[in-house]
Amino acid sequence: MAVTTAGRGRRRAVARGTGATLADRLEALERQGYRATPQRRAILAAVLGAGRINVSAEEVCGRAKALCPTVNLATTYRTLDLLKRLGIVRRVTYGDGRGVFCANPDPHYHGTCLQCGAVVDLPRGRIADVLEREQRGLTDPAFAVVGHRVEFYGYCDACRSAGRTGAIL
């Protein structure tokens, strides 16, 4: 993975994240010995094209089809799984169990819209530091904590703009 200078000021050494372009990620794929086929390019471009909004496998397939008509749903799942294993994309799970994919491989949190179910990337900010500190102090005889994931509930921009904020938590 080509490490860009974009994340220089960050403490974490994972600079492949927000700064990594489509080309960077395709290069990473090839460096691991996998072919950058037209289908894989289209699928990766589809995930990247969604920006901060996380997309389902079916959505990725639809978007990828517009770029490469031969893309198939099975190939989409296979490719997303491959990209996930290589750390190029992440998979998160909706409250209802549906999986969505995001192109931001850096640790971050997610916001799930209570109204439309959209999953949006959120910056970790100070919360991560606080949680990591607290997590070390969390001593429970029944469970040894090694990491955490936070999911925020709320309303996405589109639903708020449309005045749809009535769903209950």
Partner DNA sequence: TATGCGTTGAGAATGACTCTCATCGGCCCC
Partner DNA sequence: GGGGCCGATGAGAGTCATTCTCAACGCATA
Q: Of 95, 103, 162, 164, which one interacts with its own copies (CB under 8 A)? A: 95
Residue 132 binds which one of DNA, its own copies, none, with CB within 5 to 8 A depending on kind? none
Residue selected from 3, 34, 52, 164 as contacting DNA according to rule CB under 7 A: 34
Contacts of 94 (CB under 8 A, 6+ apart): 100, 112, 117, 119
CB of 107 within 8 A of CB of 13? no
Nearest of 76, 72, 37 to residue 60 by alpha carbon: 76
What distance in Å separates the CA atoms of residue 113 and residue 153, rounded to the nearest whole number?
A: 6
Bridge partner residues of 120 (DSSP): 53, 111
Find out whether 97 and 137 touch, Cβ atoms under 8 Å: no
Q: Which is nearer to DNA, 18 or 37 (CB)?
A: 37
Q: Given candidates 19, 99, 104, 117, which one binds its own copies under the rule CB under 8 A?
A: 99
Question: Under the criterion CB under 7 A, does residue 110 sit at the interface with DNA?
Answer: no
DSSP state of 89: S
CA distance 147 to 78: 27
CB of 94 to DNA, least distance (A): 8
**Residue 83 touching DNA (CB under 7 A):** no
- The answer to the question of residue 74 lying near its own copies (CB under 8 A) is no
Cβ distance to its own copies smaller for residue 21 or 165:
165
- β-partners of residue 114 are none
Residues that bind its own copies (CB under 8 A): 52, 93-99, 111, 113-114, 120, 122-123, 125-127, 130-131, 134-135, 137-138, 140-157, 160, 165, 169
